Chains A and B, each alone.
Chain A
Amino acid sequence: MPARCFNHPGLPAVARCVRCGKAVCASCSTRWEGMHHCNACLAARRAAEPGRTATARAVGLALLGLAVAGGVTLLRAIAGAILARAF
């Protein structure tokens, strides 16, 4: 395996992209299903994925997270009041 990253010649390569075979450094490499991919091949694979976009899911998850944060806030106040009274 070449010693240097294809995109960043100043950085050491840690793996080869399983699709195009280029040597990639730690920041260029992403593991998908246990295999290293470069950024371009990863983008191509993700573009081929069917269904809702990752961005839409992340936004939904962020909104759910805000609801959870509100629940945690309430739970902290309620649990604190009950425990302070009990102990």
Chain B
Amino acid sequence: MLDEASELVVHRVPEWAAVLALSALPWRLLEVHFANRLLQLGAHAPDYFNHLLALSSLVSLALLPAILGRAIFVRACALGLQARGRVPARLALRLPPAALVGYAYAALVWAGFFQALAWTVLLVPLLALGSGLAAATAPLAGEAAPRPGPLASLGLALRGGPSPVVGVALAAVFALAWCVAFLNLLVLFQLGLWLAGGLPGLDLAAWSLALGFGNRHFLLLVAAGAVAVVEPFWLASLVVAVRAARARESGEDLFARFAELRSGGVKDAA
């Protein structure tokens, strides 16, 4: 499943992974800014509630293009799995409106759950799983959409997803992947700083402070960067898992296997 997902992202939909990263960039940067502002204000945060509300409104506005970018990427992954090749732009961008609205609604609800429960830290992988499944199970690739409704859009993730064991295992793997990406990015910046030490005229002390472990804003940005690196593979693996679960349910995996055996048989006969 993970091999198929990385093959999908690297070889079939790399341009759509870039679209995903770019569309989510404003949202991630604003979230980092919001978190940094909260940490700066500390115990005085309630006194600046209007400022926090204004920042939160900007974050919610930036969430909309991020949701659109995710929908396009998930559709591209699903079409890439079906066609087993690169996905033309005219196909990937033709999102079904009703499915897009249903997914956007589910994404906003999961964003609400995230805001309410992210402070627990331990629940973050499960919240990310729910949010990812909302995207992977949305009928964005031409499947018949259920009647749009508040519960129908949310229920898709429960009815159409992989088994809970597979879901939790994927969440654990990608939580670890995030940690590795975070550490790698930190090391990359320190390496860059060390290499830049040879450049004349560079204020190394100031840059060491800005890119050091004591700079909270820098650490939050690296954390957001690690999420951006891991996200395409995370979504692709969920799309693969959901498609595999549906194929097992409908018998399509058997059909594909027989077609494969038949074409192998014809080749052998030839």
B-binding residues in A (CB < 8 A): 11-12, 14, 26-27, 29-34, 37, 42, 51, 54-55, 57-58, 60-62, 64-65, 68-77, 79-85
Contact = CB atoms under 8 A, between A and B. Distances in A.
Contacts of A58: 97-98, 101-102, 148
Contacts of A64: 105, 150
Contact of B148 (A32, A51, A61): A61
Given A27-B91, A54-B98, A76 B108 contact: no
A26 B56 contact: no
17 contacts: A26-B91, A26-B141, A26-B142, A29-B142, A62-B104, A62-B105, A65-B104, A65-B108, A69-B108, A71-B112, A72-B111, A76-B59, A76-B60, A77-B56, A80-B38, A80-B45, A84-B38
**Chain A, interface SS category:** helix
Contacts of B147: 51, 54, 57
A31 B101 CA distance: 19
- 7 A-B pairs with the lowest CB-CB distances in the bound complex, closest first: A32-B144, A84-B45, A65-B105, A26-B82, A77-B56, A76-B56, A84-B38
Contacts of A84: 38-39, 41-43, 45
